[in-house]
């Protein structure tokens, strides 16, 4: 009956999102008077999960699962959930988790709520708050099936320490060839750069940069802050930056601690995509740009003057505060 | 090759989002409805398969009669036949089940849906549909080629891309990248005239069960005033970000 949480890892190392979903699962377990079991695939050091309230880890080690495969991973979580007789299953909203969750939902006949932002309300059934209309609204969703599947929005709950004692158990789910019908031919991932989904800070730029040749200072600002880079829709449409960087309603949502927008006017679709970010800074020459209404901090100024100075100041700051 | 494109009827991205009936229903007053953008990229890609590889392209939506202008637009863009499952969409699972029936009956090789609708953002229909009909599934698909019985797709992952190979039948959750924004097709007069003569089948619903129920909505709290910092005083910005926002 424990709450099952899928704790993701990359190259054997648990991701930050794994600790957040564990914290969230512990919150649910406390409400329901039960404990948290995690399932991990090819992760080392799962012991770290005890800090966030995980009492048991089902450790899956398999070469066949060395590359992410949505159907096979969904099958692993399905079998773990059945073994634990879990009524609530929690995943993150990483690209991989969003990929496998609907498959898992069908396997478990579990109603699925995605983009969940808060602990469930158990007073009238099982009701969760989730974002809808690309962060322009929140919706209370009641899950009416026996088993419930929740996708927790990144950075919506945060890390909550809650140390317990943890036991590890090797778990060998049965997988068939049918689970591996899709072949991963190649993975092209920038290992030196933090992804938008995992970043604490995102530096984003728009048409105000005048051309792709001027992105050097954006990259440098991102480097100083350990940030991911992103861009507005026109910039990706014009091919100045890859589509993967496009933030907004038809691009990626960003729910980060700090979002810095340089030369982005702030179209409604862009602002929706970033509204879950906690702190927003805008740098723009036009004081009438709509972004100033959505931002926490604003600088009216020319990016070509402000950004290089900001980089120098931040370097100084980092040198004095590290 | 038989292709089915799943179309969701959604408010235009510039719509003001308001709710009525004690915040339980989306306020459609003055709202323009469109083909869900994530679906539209897939529809345009399907047109490419039709033109270059001789595919037939059907479109389907789950919704009331009010969704017909949206699905007619898909016909005007070039789809051959439209199906409308005549029931209100209530949750992702119910929609996936209704679509699964149409998908099975039509015996499609490729089913293209958007990765999520821009209204409810459930992001579950394509994957559920694939699982329900036993087809392969590739999500957040930004490139798709079909060669005979094999699909080669590129999927967006966090921080990069992945190239995948799959047999057919295949369901994809598509998005921008399948085609470029500038390649999106706008219906021309001839297309609109032809669309009037194309079949639009009204399909009896299964009355599939739901698993979730959308209750009330709320809008985010209004934003406080922006704190403006002088461009010559960046130390102030750093101080605010460090001490007030605790973001650096």
Is B246 domain-assigned?
Answer: no
Is B24 domain-assigned?
Answer: yes
**Domain of B149, in residue numbers:** 2-218
Residues of A in contact with B142 (CB under 8 A): 243
Domain count, chain B: 1
> A239-268: per-residue pLDDT in tens?
999 999 999 999 999 999 999 999 999 999
Q: Please write down the HEC assignment for all residues of A198-257.
A: CCCEEEEECHHHCCHHHCHHHHHHHHHHCCEEEECHHHHHCCCCCHHHEECCCCECCCCC
CB A145 within 8 A of CB B211: yes
Residue A322, pLDDT > 80, answer no
Is B231 domain-assigned?
Answer: no
Which parts of chain B have pLDDT scores under 70?
none
CB B169 within 8 A of CB B133: yes
Residues of A in contact with B231 (CB under 8 A): 299-302, 305-306
Cis bond leading into B89, ω under 30°? no
CB B215 within 8 A of CB A142: yes
To the nearest whole number, what is the mean pLDDT of chain A?
96
> A157-169: per-residue pLDDT in tens?
999 999 999 999 9
CB A308 within 8 A of CB B232: no
Nearest chain B residue (CA) to A197: B158
Residues A128 and A150: their CA atoms lie apart, in Å, by 9
Nearest chain A residue (CA) to B132: A106
Could you tell me the two tokens for B2? Answer: 């038989």
Q: Which class in CATH covers the domain with range A3-180?
A: alpha beta
> A46-85: per-residue pLDDT in tens?
999 999 999 999 999 999 999 999 999 999 999 999 999 9
Between B167, B226, B235, which is nearest A313 by CB? B235
CB contact under 8 A, B127 and A292: no
Mutate to test the interface with A, among B127, B218, B227 (most CBs of A within 10 A): B127
Residues A219 and A192: their CA atoms lie apart, in Å, by 12
Is B134 domain-assigned?
Answer: yes
CB A78 within 8 A of CB A188: no
Could you tell me the two tokens for A8? Answer: 């993701």
> A296-321: per-residue pLDDT in tens?
999 999 999 999 999 999 999 999 98
**Domain boundaries, given as residue ranges, for chain A:** 3-180, 201-320
CB contact under 8 A, A249 and B13: yes
Could you tell me the two tokens for A19? Answer: 């600790």
Residues of A in contact with B33 (CB under 8 A): none
pLDDT confidence of residue B10: 98
Superfamily holding A201-320: TPP-binding domain (3.40.50.1220)
Between A237, A275, A321, which is nearest B181 by CB? A237
Q: With pLDDT > 90 as the criterion, what percentage of chain A qualifies? A: 96
Q: CATH no. for residue B208?
A: 3.40.50.620
A203 vs A1: which has the higher pLDDT: A203
CB contact under 8 A, B217 and A140: yes
Between A96, A138, A251, which is nearest B218 by CB? A138
B103: closest CA among B130, B64, B122, B65? B130
Residues of B in contact with A136 (CB under 8 A): 17, 219-220
B15: Cα within 13 Å, side-chain hemisphere? 24
Between A132, A145, A309, which is nearest B121 by CB? A132
pLDDT confidence of residue A190: 80
CB contact under 8 A, A139 and B219: no
Between A111, A233, A295, which is nearest B93 by CB? A111
pLDDT confidence of residue A191: 78
Is B213 domain-assigned?
Answer: yes
pLDDT confidence of residue A193: 83
CB contact under 8 A, A137 and B219: yes
How far away is chain B from the Cα of A25, in angstroms, using its nearest Cα? 20
pLDDT confidence of residue B222: 85
Could you tell me the two tokens for A239? Answer: 């091919």
CB contact under 8 A, B210 and A144: yes
Is B50 domain-assigned?
Answer: yes
Provide the ipTM: 0.96
Residue A172 three-state SS: coil
Mutate to test the interface with A, among B38, B39, B121 (most CBs of A within 10 A): B121
Is B190 domain-assigned?
Answer: yes
> A182-228: per-residue pLDDT in tens?
999 999 988 778 899 889 999 999 999 999 999 999 999 999 999 99
CB contact under 8 A, B136 and A201: no
């Amino acid at each position: 009956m424990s709450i099952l949480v899928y704790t993701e890892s990359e190259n054997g190392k648990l991701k930050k999102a794994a600790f957040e979903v564990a914290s969230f699962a512990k919150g649910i377990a406390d409400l329901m008077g039960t404990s948290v079991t995690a399932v991990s695939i090819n992760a080392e050091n799962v012991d770290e999960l005890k800090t966030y309230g995980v009492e048991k880890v089902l450790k899956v080690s398999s070469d066949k699962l060395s590359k992410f495969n949505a159907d096979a991973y969904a099958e692993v979580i399905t079998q773990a959930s059945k073994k634990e007789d879990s009524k609530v299953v929690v995943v993150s909203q990483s690209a991989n988790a969003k990929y496998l969750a609907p498959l898992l939902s069908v396997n478990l006949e579990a109603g699925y709520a995605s983009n969940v932002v808060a602990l469930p309300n158990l007073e009238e059934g099982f009701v969760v708050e989730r974002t809808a209309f690309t962060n322009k609204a929140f919706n209370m969703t009641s899950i009416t099936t026996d088993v419930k599947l929740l996708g927790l929005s990144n950075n919506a709950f945060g890390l909550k320490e809650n140390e317990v004692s943890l036991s590890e158990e090797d778990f060998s789910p049965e997988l068939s060839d049918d689970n591996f019908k899709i072949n991963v031919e190649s993975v092209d991932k920038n290992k030196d750069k933090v992804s938008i989904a995992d970043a604490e800070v995102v530096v984003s730029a728009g048409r105000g940069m005048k051309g792709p040749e001027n992105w050097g200072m954006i990259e440098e600002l991102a480097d100083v802050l350990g940030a991911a880079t992103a861009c507005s829709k026109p910039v990706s449409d014009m091919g100045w930056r890859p589509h993967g960087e496009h933030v907004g309603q038809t691009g990626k949502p960003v729910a980060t601690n700090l979002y810095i927008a340089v030369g982005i006017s702030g179209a409604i679709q862009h602002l929706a995509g970033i509204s879950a970010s906690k702190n927003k800074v805008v740098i723009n020459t036009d004081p009438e740009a709509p972004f100033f209404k959505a931002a926490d901090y604003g600088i009216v100024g020319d990016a070509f003057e402000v950004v290089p100075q900001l980089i120098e100041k931040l370097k100084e700051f980092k040198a004095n505060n590290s | 090759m038989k292709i089915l494109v799943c179309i969701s009827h959604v408010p235009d991205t510039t719509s003001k989002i308001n709710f009525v009936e004690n915040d339980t229903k989306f306020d459609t007053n003055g709202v323009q409805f469109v083909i869900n953008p994530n679906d539209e990229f897939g529809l345009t890609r399907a047109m490419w398969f039709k033109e270059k590889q001789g595919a037939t392209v059907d479109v389907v939506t789950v919704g009331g009669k009010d969704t017909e202008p949206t699905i007619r637009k898909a016909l005007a863009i070039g789809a051959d036949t439209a199906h409308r499952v005549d029931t209100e969409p209530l949750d992702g699972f119910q929609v996936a089940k209704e679509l699964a029936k149409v998908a099975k009956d039509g015996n499609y090789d490729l089913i293209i849906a958007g990765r999520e609708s821009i209204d409810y953002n459930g992001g579950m229909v394509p994957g559920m549909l694939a699982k329900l009909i036993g087809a392969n599934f590739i999500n957040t698909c930004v490139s798709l080629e079909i060669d005979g019985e094999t699909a080669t797709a590129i999927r967006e992952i966090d921080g990069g891309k992945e190239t995948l190979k799959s047999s057919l039948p295949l369901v994809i959750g598509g998005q921008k990248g399948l085609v470029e924004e500038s390649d999106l097709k706008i219906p021309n007069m001839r297309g609109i005239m032809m669309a009037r003569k194309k079949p639009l089948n009204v399909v009896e619903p299964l009355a599939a069960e739901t698993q979730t129920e959308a209750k009330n909505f709320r809008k985010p709290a209004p934003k406080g005033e922006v704190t403006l910092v002088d461009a010559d005083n960046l130390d102030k910005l750093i101080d605010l970000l460090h001490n007030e926002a605790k973001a650096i």
